[in-house]
Amino acid sequence: MKVKKWSSLFLEMLMVMTGVFLALMADEWRENRQTAKSISIIEEKIIEEAHENYQSLLHQKKRLNDRYSRLVKWGEGLDNTKNFLEQKDFPGFPHVYLASAAWKRANSSQIANLVDVDIITYANRLYAHNDAITRSQNLYLGLMYNKDIWDSELTMVNLKITKSLFKESISQVNQGLDYYHNFLELYPLSNRENKT
């Protein structure tokens, strides 16, 4: 009789332990699945944002080239007696907006360290270059529209400086386009969408 009690007690304990073990495994599987889904979402958002920024840079390149051509023509008719900014119809300097919300969310996420290291490393280079473009363009805008800098006696020098700023900005945008092109070849958006 005692043997039956011990064996049934052992069997009940074994069933309870198996149930607890299976429940823990199911929780871990669910947690791992949720983590993998979160990682995938972070990666997809970074790649989507990279596509947006690539398009913004393509548009900026076109705008810069167009404005530079207008600047060259505009410079041919400058009045040397007027301050550079007092000249009529200055073509202006276009500013580009590069998105960074997905990148900031990824960096603030607790699971960001689980994201594919290659994506994070490459994206870090892209966003560092974005920051360089933004800082440069803000500096250029500050220079071009600062009335205290321009002197009517140096109108032609100011035009050369402005042309140089445009050329430098075009160069930075071209470099950014190369970076983005390489990244998007490695991580195309369409492949990521097909996986989900």
**Tokens coding 187:** 């991580």
Residue 166 lies in a domain: yes
Residue 24 domain-assigned (yes or no): no
Rounded CA-CA distance 159/71 in Å is 9
Does residue 185 belong to any structural domain of this protein?
yes
Is 122 contained in some domain?
Answer: yes
What is the pLDDT, as a whole number, of residue 195? 45
pLDDT at site 58: 97
Exposed/middle/buried for residue 41 (C-beta within 10 Å: 0-12, 13-18, 19+) = middle
- Per-residue confidence (pLDDT) for residue 3, from 0 to 100: 62
Residue-number span of the structural domain to which 165 is assigned: 42-195
Domain contains 36? no
Question: What is the reported pTM?
Answer: 0.79
Exposure of 26 by Cβ count < 10 A (0-12 exposed, 13-18 middle, 19+ buried)? exposed
Residue 118: CB atoms within 10 A of its CB come to 11
Crossing angle (nearest 10°) for helices 101-108 and 117-144: 130
Is 20 inside any structural domain? no
Domain membership of residue 177 (yes or no) is yes
Which residues of the chain fall below pLDDT 50? 192-196
The pLDDT of residue 47: 93
pLDDT for res 22 = 86
Give the pLDDT confidence score for residue 139 in this predicted structure: 87
Total domains in the chain come to 1
Is residue 148, in this structure, part of any structural domain at all? yes
